[in-house]
Amino acid sequence: MSYKIFCMGNPLLDVQVRDGEALLKKYDLKANDAILADEKHQPIYEEIVKDYPVTYVAGGASQNAARGAAYVLPPKSVVYAGCVGDDDLAKQLRTANEREGLDEVYLVKKGEKTGACAVIITGHHRSLVTTLRAAEKFEASHLSSPTVAPLVEGAKVFYVEGFFLTHGVESVLTLSKHASEKNKTFVLNLSAPFILTYFHPQLEQVLPYTDIIIGNESEAQEYAKAILKSDTTDIAEIAKGIAKYRKANARPRVVVITQGPQSTVVVDGANPNVAKVYPVTPIVNELIVDTNGAGDAFAGGFLGAYVDGKSIEESVEVGHKMGAIGILCIFTRMYHITSSPQHVALNNVDISLAQVFSTDELEECLRQPNGHVGPVALAGVHLPSIAFIMPYQLFCMGDPLLDVQVRDGEALLTKYHLSANNAIRAEDQHQPIYEEIATRYRATYVAGGGAQNAARGAAYVLPPKSVVFTGCVGDDDLAAQLRAANQREGLDEVYFVKKGERRVLVLSLVTTLRAAGKFEASHLSSPTVAPLVEGAKVYYVEGFFLTHGVESALALSKHASEYNKTFVLNLSAPFILAHYHPQLEQVLPYTDIILGNDSEAHAYAKAILKSDTTDIVEIAKGIVKYRKANARPRVVVITQGSQSTIVVDGANPDVAKVYPVTPIASELIVDTNGAGDAFAGGFLGAYVDGRGLEESVEVGHKMGAMCVQLVGPQYRWPKVKVL
Catalytic residues: 296
Q: Nearest-CA neighbor of 566 among 693, 341, 394?
A: 394
322-343 burial, b if ≥16 CB within 10 A, otherwise e? bbbbbbbbbbbbbbbbbbbbee
Q: How far is 317 from 323, CA to CA, in rounded Å?
A: 10
Cα–Cα distances in angstroms (integers) from residue 540 to residues 118, 590, 592, 594, 638, in the given order: 29, 12, 10, 10, 16
Q: What angle do CA 704, 705, 710 make, to 5 degrees?
A: 95
Is residue 46 within a helix (H) or strand (E), and if so which, with residue range?
helix 43-51
Q: How far apart are CA 217 and CA 642, in angstroms?
A: 65
Output helix, strand, coil percentages for the chain, rounded to the nearest 5.
Answer: 45, 20, 35
Neighbours of 148 (CB within 10 A): 18
Radius of gyration of the chain measured on its C-alpha atoms: 29
Q: The dihedral of CA 708, 709, 715, 718: what is its sign?
A: negative
Q: Cα separation of 102 and 99, whole Å?
A: 8
**Would you say 112 and 86 are in contact if contact means Cβ atoms under 8 Å apart?**
yes
Cα distances from 34 to residues 39, 119, 270, 433, in angstroms, run 16, 9, 33, 67
Q: CA 116: distance to chain centroid?
A: 19
- The Cβ of residue 709 has, within 10 Å, a number of other Cβ atoms equal to 16
3-state DSSP assignment of residue 481: helix
What letter would DSSP give residue 223? H
Asked whether the beta carbons of 637 and 697 are under 8 A apart, the reply is yes
Q: Which of 156, 164, 235 is nearest to 195 (CA)?
A: 164
Q: Which residues pair with 425 in a beta bridge?
A: 511
CA–centroid distance for 65 within its chain: 19
Alpha carbons 672 and 526: distance in angstroms, whole number: 37
Angle formed at CA 330 by CA 327 and CA 333, multiple of 5 degrees: 105
CA distances from 133 to 14, 292, 405, 666 (A): 13, 21, 61, 67
Q: Which of 94, 84, 91 is nearest to 134 (CA)?
A: 84
The set of residues, in sequence order, having a beta carbon less than 8 Å from that of 357 and lying 6+ positions away, is: 321, 365, 378
Closest C-alpha to 216, from 100, 61, 404, 71: 61
| Single-letter residue type at 526 | S
CA distances (Å), origin 608, targets 474, 624, 650, 651: 35, 12, 18, 22
